[in-house]
Every structure is written in C-alpha cells, then in structure tokens.
C-alpha cells in the first residue's frame, strides 16, 4: 500500500514536472504574439500582458463564470454523446463486417457535410437554445471516435484471442482483458481530438446562433470592438481546452497505459 502510494507520488511529480517542456512551447507562442503586437499596436493586437490583465478582470465578473459554465456544460454533453455513440458504433462495426459496410458510408456523409451547414440546420431544429451547439459538436466529432473504435476492434490480436479461448475464456473476459486495452490506445487520440473540437465547435455554434456562453460573449465583444476582451475570451477557451487535455485525459491515459512505458529502453522513459 505504502509502496503504491510512493509510486503514485513519484508518477504525479514526474507528470507535473514534465509541464515545463509544454510551458516552453506556449512561451514561444507568447513571444511571437508579443512581436506581432509591437508591430501592429494595441488596437489591432493587444499584448499578452494586457490580455492576461483582461483575463484576470473577466474572471472576477459573474457573467463570465455563467457563460463559461454554459459553454462547459454544452461541450461536455457534446463530448460525451460524440464519444459514446461514436465509440459504440465504431466497436460494433469493428466486430461485424456487415455493420461496417453499412455504417462507413453514413460516417463519410456526416464527415462530408461542412459543420457550418449543421449549425444552420441545428438552428432551425433546436432554435436559439444550447441544443444547437451540442448537436453541432456531436456531428462534428462523432466520426473521429467512430474511426478509433472501428480500427481498435478490427486490429485486435486474434492470436491472443485464440490463446484466451484455449483457456475457455468467455466473451466478456476476452473483451475486457484483450480487446479493451488494445482499443483504448486507439481511442485516446480520438478522445483528445474530440475534447479539443468540442470546445471550439461549441464556441463557434454559440457565436453564430447567439445562444449565450462564451461564444455569445465573443459576439458581443466583437460588436463593441472590445479587442482586449476578444483576446481574453480566446485565451480562456484555449486554457479550458488545454486543461481538459492535460489535467484530465493525459493523466488518465498515463495511468491506464503504464505497461507501454515499461517497454521503453532505460533512459528514454518520458
């Protein structure tokens, strides 16, 4: 028990420490941003520092908390639905050749329709409610999870499956111990992409359908020509997306896929 706790603390420490490398990348972007700001001036592009001040200011305001909450709930529902439906149908298609032949074209059609067209349709169907944002997220992000689920199940190791059958392992045990761990390595890239897409598409749908949330605030700020506020809202959305990915999905993946790290030669780990 104590050994496990120490191992966990060690892992958590390494994970947090690895954030420095990520911060370097972000600071490079900030430097380029600062350069562009010096060239174009504050009216067109506020400096990173000005923007951070504005972020600090809006974080204290009640409307921002409400708007961020709305956007978060919508993108979360959209994410959950897209991942749930996409993974499930993808996995079914991976198991059944007939289902795959049937579903592939459907997904291609969904993929082919531009998201902006879905927003228009969603506006007509759901009106000015959060539903249009959720639907747009689901439609835009579903094919990625579908492809992940399909590839994951289709490329499962048949040799391991035969081994498990030779021991009389049932369907459920085989799914849990053989297919699922393999599937997860395909699903995580799909899920991180979906999480990023969910935030972006929610904000876009909110802006276009004027249904509140951060997108709605963005529309207002644009109308008022409040450039620092526009930048602050953009930074906030990016921060949320980074947070979901690095505080939620990546640690989860790290914990689930520790065996992968074991395969790396000494010194290459992390």
Partner 1 sequence: MRLVLERVGHAFLGRAVLEDFDLSLAAGEVVALLGPSGCGKTTVLQIAAGLLDPLRGRVQRHYRRHAVVFQEPRLLPWFTAHDNIAYGLRAAGVARAERAAIVAQRAQDVGLSLHDLDKYPAELSGGMRQRVAVARALAVRPDMVYFDEPFTAVDVGLKRILQDLVIEAAAREQFSALFVTHDLWEAVRVAHRLLLLPRRADGPVVARAIAGEPGRRRERDIFALVEAWSADPAFRELFDGRESVH
Residues lying near partner 1 in the complex (CB under 8 A)? 159-160, 162-170, 173, 177-178, 181, 257, 259, 262-263
Q: What is the CA radius of gyration of the chain?
A: 22
What is the distance between the alpha carbons of residues 123 and 77, in angstroms, rounded to a whole number?
18
Number of CB atoms found within 10 A of residue 147's CB: 18
Encoded tokens for 13:
């420490």
What is the distance between the alpha carbons of residues 70 and 66, in angstroms, rounded to a whole number?
6
Report the residue number, 21 or 159, with the smaller CB distance to partner 1. Answer: 159
What is the distance between the alpha carbons of residues 142 and 15, in angstroms, rounded to a whole number?
30
Report the residue number, 105 or 267, with the smaller CB distance to partner 1. Answer: 267
Q: How far is CA 104 from CA 83, 94, 242, in A?
A: 17, 11, 31
Angle at 175 between CA 193 and CA 254, to 5 degrees: 40
Shortest distance (Å) from residue 150 CB to partner 1: 21
Report the residue number, 25 or 168, with the smaller CB distance to partner 1. Answer: 168
What is the distance between the alpha carbons of residues 17 and 256, in angstroms, rounded to a whole number?
20
Length of the chain: 270
CB 110 within 8 A of CB 139: yes
What is the distance between the alpha carbons of residues 128 and 65, in angstroms, rounded to a whole number?
20
């Amino acid at each position: 028990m104590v050994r496990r706790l120490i191992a966990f603390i060690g892992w958590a420490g390494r994970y947090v420490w690895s954030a420095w490398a990520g911060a370097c990348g972000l600071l490079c972007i900030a430097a380029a941003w600062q350069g562009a700001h010096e060239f174009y001036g504050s009216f067109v592009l506020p400096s990173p520092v000005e923007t951070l001040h504005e972020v600090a200011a809006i974080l204290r305001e009640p409307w921002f908390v409400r708007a961020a909450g709305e956007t978060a709930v919508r993108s979360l529902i959209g994410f959950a639905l897209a991942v749930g439906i996409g993974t499930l149908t993808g996995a079914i298609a991976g198991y059944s050749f007939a289902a795959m032949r049937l579903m592939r074209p459907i997904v291609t059609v969904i993929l082919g329709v531009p998201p902006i067209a879905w927003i228009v349709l969603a506006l007509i169907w759901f009106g000015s409610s959060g539903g249009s944002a959720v639907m747009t997220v689901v439609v835009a992000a579903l094919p990625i999870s579908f492809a992940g689920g399909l590839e994951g199940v289709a490329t499962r190791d048949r040799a391991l499956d035969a081994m498990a059958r030779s021991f009389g392992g049932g369907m459920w045990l085989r799914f849990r111990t053989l297919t699922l761990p393999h599937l997860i390595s395909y699903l995580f890239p799909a899920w991180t992409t979906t999480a990023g897409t969910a935030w972006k598409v929610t904000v876009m749908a909110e802006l276009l359908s004027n249904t509140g949330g951060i997108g709605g605030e963005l529309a207002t700020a644009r109308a008022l020509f409040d450039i620092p506020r526009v930048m602050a809202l953009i930074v906030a959305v990016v921060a949320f997306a980074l947070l979901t990915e690095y505080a939620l999905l990546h640690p989860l993946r790290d914990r689930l896929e520790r065996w992968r790290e074991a395969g790396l030669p000494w010194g290459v780990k992390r």
